[in-house]
Structure 1
Amino acid sequence: MKDVEQFESKNPANMPEENEDMPLCQFIVDNGSLIACHNSSSIYLVQRGHRHLIPNAKVYDALFVSRHLVHFIGKRQLDSIPLGIPLSENACLIKGNNTDPVYLYSNEAKSHIRSAEDFNHAGFDWGKIHNLPQKEVDNITTIRDFIVEQNNKVVIKTNDIPVQYDADNNYGVLTQFTCKCKERDVTCNILLPSEKCRKGCEEECKEEYPVLYLYHGLGINSEWIHSDQGRIKQIIGNMVCNGLIPDMIVVMPDMMYSGTETKAYDFYRFKASLKELMSYVEDHYKVKKGKGNTAIAGLSLGGTTALYNAYLFKDTFRYVGAFCPTSILLYQPSRGITEPWIPKEEDFVLGTGEEDFTFIANGTADCSAGDTPKFYSRALRENGSDNVFALLPDGGHCWTTFRKLFYVFMAFDFFRKR
């Protein structure tokens, strides 16, 4: 790209040639950053854990406010970052004339830039946004949100979560069913957009819905639906009414055997019943099938189990969420874990497709999970699985935190609602 040599202290000409014996300082490569090798003029935009070539100066200037945004790194570090699809020659910033969201448009698809703060941190240029007819924007394929990190994490701000996010809302139908699996009977709470979502009912609807499998922690399954705890009906209802997510089916299985003394082990062996449960749901409810329409998430030990099940069934879940996941998944002797569910850390890999999305989050005051969520996130990155790690300031291991982290997870481009 032209004019790269104009960068001041970062000028590649001022940097020594890289050799095998030279210790190079490793730059933390965040999603949303601009990087280049100090002996090359090629500049890349990092997104989804991949580096995407910016083809020329014209494309760069159509997006970014300054040429002083690029971080120069060593060739070895650059080569360690997987190469993604280059930005297209017509890449630009767009928005509809009836809505606020701004998108990065490239390769005939749009990626939602989640906030003005993210827009500024990435160095995008407000003066370069193209205002288009809303219908034209709506007809463009939506891909994953544009992620902006700082030191490999997303810090959740107060304004990321509306005050009324869990206010009372009369959404859907909350009911219960029991699935007879080989291992055991699994009782589930299920949230439906309407009674018409049941197959075979008198007024069965034609529409099919994506499905989220949502796990509880070491408490009880009813906590997700309790008005003082999970408030799942209210959160989903408010997000649907505000156009943030589409109508969906939420399945909340009871992870534990009645009266068992080995609760944690029940979570581990739930894997034996999961596929049978999913088949039951698909047979009895109007579910959109396929990986792109299926999500899994959970809190505390349920979050750990969601990660474990996503690891076991990589081709099943497109969206994975773990809120304050606890230790047991990987070898962590510092936390007393010497017989983990996944014996080898290097085997811990989730879906690596362009649209696969893994969200791991924690509160900064969570003494129960501690640094385990960050450890899981880092292990995934090192194994080639991109993920979003988010922190909620002052969040503890409690329902106030779980609800907010669930909202943030759902607020990403979930099931392509835009």
Structure 2
Amino acid sequence: MKNCFYLMMILSLLSMTSHAQQALWGGPNLVSPEIHDNNTVTFRLQAPQASEVKLSGDWMPSEGWTPGSVAMEKTEDGIWRHTTDVLSSELYSYSFWVDGLRMPDPNNVHRIRDVATVTDVFLIGNGKADLYRVNDVPHGTVARRWYDSPGNEMNRRMTIYTPPGYENSKEKYPVLYLLHGMGGDEEAWIALGRTAQIMDNLIAQGKAKPMLVVMTNGNVAQQAAPGESAKGFYKPTMQLPHTMDGQMEATFPDVIQFIENNYRVKTDRKNRAIAGLSMGGFHSLHISRYYPETFNYVGLFSPAILPDENVKSQVYENFDETLKTQKENGLDLYWIGIGKTDFLYKFVEDYRKKLDEMDFPYQYHETEGGHTWTNWRDYLVEFVPQLF
């Protein structure tokens, strides 16, 4: 009799657990996205009362700045489904549109913020995106550090990757300073750029030397990324005060000083590199030119070389003369990457003509696509093995 009572109790608890888990997920335990062996992907969403559900993903042909979309099909059980064509190896983002309202996939916990938009992500392997995976290799350490920036009169936050073995070593390492684009912050490269995974995998494969990667916040009006400072939770915006006005470049030595005072790094020009995407490419161009004795490697990823005659800063004066000085000092690598359909293509083309007229040596890498993280991750993978 007692055993029967205990059996009933166990069955009751199992039933309660099952219902609790079902409530937690808001319905049946759907798998979405489901990545198939042939690299097609099935998406599912339970929305029995919806009239229309669309799937929007960055692998679809874009409609201007907006990713394309495709209608999902509703089945008798109230679940909407769509299976893609075969997708190439990449990190992808997507969202659902339910009766015109954008929403995340409730069955996918893997999300990344890009400026003020949060999107679900998934990864297709068996190709270049294997570098974006957490593979079974030695791992580096990612830290968020606060530093004093006298030039900006505040404490600020940066993200720092140290290579595998750093903590147990007495060795000194070279440094790559890696800068984000407009609207980004010190979280952009580590999240969207998959920097830690890329560095771990390249180092493990012997394709890159162990190095520190310092990912700063290029918005000097901010202490840190939205939600990470005393300002609290607020909606991120694209353009902030002191954006591309010379303040970030002028105060960049605060970053270098903190790193060289607090980490075991090599402090000569031969062991410093700087690179950035879009606005960060603009910053990298001007920081390396304004401090011509500081960096021996420069990477401009889709650089936002946008002339603005209204911006007055000592940093942007004597452009040609300082560029000439940078050339005469000598560089091991000046690397430029741009997509064929990038809206900045013409500006980069004009800048390359200037470099050609000066006989300024540089390496040029032109790809398909536009102003996207797909390209910028590729550029990082191409650039890093050439350093140090």
**TM-score between the two structures when normalised by the length of structure 2:** 0.56
Q: For residues 276 and 375 of structure 1, do their structure 2 counterparts lie closer, same or farther at Cα, with a shift above 3 Å needed? A: same
Judge conservation of contact 1:315–1:351 (CA < 8 Å) in 2: no
**Secondary structure of the corresponding residue to residue 245 of structure 1:** coil
| Counterpart amino acid of residue 364 in structure 1 | K
Judge conservation of contact 1:193–1:249 (CA < 8 Å) in 2: yes
| Counterpart amino acid of residue 371 in structure 1 | K
Judge conservation of contact 1:240–1:246 (CA < 8 Å) in 2: yes
**Alignment partners' CA distance in 2, 1:183 and 1:343:** 19
**Alignment partners' CA distance in 1, 2:179 and 2:334:** 16
Amino-acid identity (%): 27
Instruction: Tell me the alpha carbon deviations over residues 295-354 of structure 1, each in whole angstroms, 9 at most, x when there is no partner.
Output: 0000001111000000011111000001000133xx4xxxx6565763555333334455
**Residue 268 of structure 1: CA displacement?**
2.5
Q: Does 1:210 find its partner at 2:174?
A: yes
Judge conservation of contact 1:218–1:264 (CA < 8 Å) in 2: no
Judge conservation of contact 1:255–1:267 (CA < 8 Å) in 2: no
Q: Corresponding residue for 1:409? A: 383
**Alignment partners' CA distance in 1, 2:278 and 2:361:** 21
Q: For residues 166 and 324 of structure 1, do their structure 2 counterparts lie closer, same or farther at Cα, with a shift above 3 Å needed? A: same
Runs of 4+ in 1 over 4 A off after TM superposition: 194-197, 336-341
Q: Corresponding residue for 1:292? A: 270
**Alignment partners' CA distance in 1, 2:252 and 2:352:** 24
Residues 259-338 of structure 1: matches in 2 within 5 Å?
262-263=240-241, 265=243, 268-328=246-306, 331=307
| Counterpart amino acid of residue 189 in structure 1 | T
Q: Corresponding residue for 1:342? A: 316
Instruction: Tell me the alpha carbon deviations over residues 252-291 of structure 1, each in whole angstroms, 9 at most, x when there is no partner.
Output: 1111123896356366311232112211111111101101
Q: Corresponding residue for 1:69? A: none
Q: Corresponding residue for 1:223? A: 188
Q: For residues 239 and 343 of structure 1, do their structure 2 counterparts lie closer, same or farther at Cα, with a shift above 3 Å needed? A: same
**Residue 378 of structure 1: CA displacement?**
2.4
Q: Corresponding residue for 2:354? A: 379
Q: For residues 359 and 263 of structure 1, do their structure 2 counterparts lie closer, same or farther at Cα, with a shift above 3 Å needed? A: farther
Instruction: Tell me the alpha carbon deviations over residues 43-64 of structure 1, each in whole angstroms, 9 at most, x when there is no partner.
Output: xxxxxxxxxxxxxxxxxxxxxx
Q: For residues 242 and 194 of structure 1, do their structure 2 counterparts lie closer, same or farther at Cα, with a shift above 3 Å needed? A: closer
Which protein shows a greater Rg? Answer: 2
**Alignment partners' CA distance in 1, 2:254 and 2:336:** 26
**Secondary structure of the corresponding residue to residue 401 of structure 1:** helix
**Alignment partners' CA distance in 1, 2:331 and 2:304:** 26
**Alignment partners' CA distance in 2, 1:230 and 1:263:** 25
| Counterpart amino acid of residue 357 in structure 1 | L
1:176 aligned to which of 120, 144, 152: 144
Structure 1, gaps ≥5 residues long: 1-160, 198-202
Judge conservation of contact 1:178–1:187 (CA < 8 Å) in 2: yes
| Counterpart amino acid of residue 246 in structure 1 | K
Residues 27-66 of structure 1: matches in 2 within 5 Å?
none
Q: For residues 239 and 313 of structure 1, do their structure 2 counterparts lie closer, same or farther at Cα, with a shift above 3 Å needed? A: same
**Alignment partners' CA distance in 1, 2:318 and 2:247:** 19
Greater relative contact order (Cα < 8 A, sep 6+): 1
Q: Does 1:243 find its partner at 2:219?
A: no
Q: Does 1:188 find its partner at 2:158?
A: yes
The CA RMSD over aligned residues, in Å, is 2.5
Q: Does 1:167 find its partner at 2:106?
A: no
**Alignment partners' CA distance in 2, 1:192 and 1:254:** 18
**TM-score between the two structures when normalised by the length of structure 1:** 0.53
2:367 aligned to which of 384, 392, 395: 392
Q: Corresponding residue for 2:27? A: none
Q: Corresponding residue for 2:24? A: none
| Counterpart amino acid of residue 143 in structure 2 | T
**Residue 397 of structure 1: CA displacement?**
0.4
**Alignment partners' CA distance in 2, 1:306 and 1:255:** 11
| Counterpart amino acid of residue 389 in structure 1 | Y
Q: For residues 343 and 245 of structure 1, do their structure 2 counterparts lie closer, same or farther at Cα, with a shift above 3 Å needed? A: same
**Alignment partners' CA distance in 1, 2:371 and 2:241:** 18
